[in-house]
Amino acid sequence: MIVMRDLQKIFGGTGAGISSTSITFLKGEWVTLLGTSGSGKTTLLRLIAGLEQKSGGMLANPYSLQDTSFVFQEAALLPWKTVMDNIILPLRLRGMPKEHAKSKARPWLDKMRLHDFSHAMPHELSGGLKMRVSLARALVTEPKLLLLDEPFAALDEPIRIELGIELRALFKQLRPTVILVTHSITEGLWLSDRVLVLHGKPGKLVMDERVHLGDERPLHLRGDPEFLKKVETCFEVLSQ
């Protein structure tokens, strides 16, 4: 369980960040952070990851770095390494022998449908494939906390949907705590168990809503009247 009380982080120059926010993230739930630009969605994620230092308040994160994986907006692959070597990077940095790391990575290559590309170099891959590699690298360590910072932002809609379905299936199987930052209300509601909306600059938590849509999230759910009603509510909160 990640607990934050009156957590604050404001950037001097722009005034962006988050102001006095209290949230509790439960173990094994998928939480999506939605918000206007500058409302501190990414800042919140980076504070949890330890990539930013808080200005005030309290943050208790029981997950160690070993238990945490972070997926960035860009695939952030090492251009001189093959797909396989990029995926096993976190294991190698922990001192795991190469062959052992590769055997651990192989199932992830299959799950992310990358088995035909294990020897490919990053520059040979499309944007969607690069993001698959990035996700496989994040999942190969079997993290207990998965932080996703707009990982699908640069991708086309069909690929976003495809990756969303696959990620949700893996979530069902592994049950890590997932915190997803996204600009897409539909995507956020469709994939997660709970949606938080930040608003303003610096951002304040203005909505904390559970999404009771069950474990299965088929694509047609996005056309469901109840689902669309939730999208509308979020939209109204965001455009206040």
Partner 1 sequence: MKVARFIYPVIPLVVLILVTETLSRKDVIPRFLLPAPSQIFQAVLDDPHSFGHAFFETALCSTLGLLLAITVGLAFSIVLSASKFFRNMFYPYATFFQTVPIIAIAPLLVIWFGYGSATVIASAFIVSVFPVIANSVMGLTRTDPTLLALFKMMGASDLKTLFKLRFPLALPQILGGFKISSGLAVIGAIVGEFISGSGLGGLVDEARNQQRVDRVFAAVIFAAALGIIFFSLISGLNRLLLRYWFRDRSTDD
Residue 153 lies near partner 1 (rule: CB under 8 A): no
| Rg from Cα positions in the chain | 18
Measured from the CB atom, is 49 or 180 closer to partner 1?
Answer: 49
Measured from the CB atom, is 11 or 72 closer to partner 1?
Answer: 72
**Closest residue by Cα to residue 122 from 110, 132, 111, 109:** 132
Residue 14 lies near partner 1 (rule: CB under 8 A): no
Q: Which DSSP string do the residues of 179-222 spell out, in sequence order?
A: EEE-S-HHHHHHH-SEEEEEETTTBEEEEEEE----S---GGGG
- Least separation in angstroms between residue 225's CB and partner 1 is 35
Residue 80 lies near partner 1 (rule: CB under 8 A): yes
Among 96, 121, 165, 231, binds partner 1 (CB under 8 A): 121
Dihedral, 226, 227, 228, 229 alpha carbons, nearest 10: 50
Residue 97 lies near partner 1 (rule: CB under 8 A): no
> Which parts of 27-56 interact with partner 1 (CB under 8 A)?
46, 49-51
Residue 69 lies near partner 1 (rule: CB under 8 A): yes
Instruction: Candidates 4-12, 16-24, 68-76, 161-169: pick the segment binding partner 1 (CB under 8 A).
Output: 68-76
- Least separation in angstroms between residue 64's CB and partner 1 is 9
**Closest residue by Cα to residue 195 from 149, 125, 187:** 187
Among 19, 68, 182, 186, binds partner 1 (CB under 8 A): 68
Sheet with 17-25: list strands edge to edge: 17-25, 2-10, 56-60
What is the spatial distance between Cα 68 and Cα 207, in angstroms, rounded to a whole number? 26
Q: Which two three-digit tokens encode residue 27? A: 């173990």
Instruction: Candidates 14-22, 78-86, 183-191, 223-231: pick the segment binding partner 1 (CB under 8 A).
Output: 78-86
Among 70, 171, 190, 227, binds partner 1 (CB under 8 A): 70
**H-helix or E-strand containing 25?**
strand 17-25
What is the spatial distance between Cα 152 and Cα 195, in angstroms, rounded to a whole number? 17
Residues that bind partner 1 (CB under 8 A): 46, 49-51, 65-66, 68-70, 72, 74, 76, 78-80, 89-90, 93-94, 121, 123-127
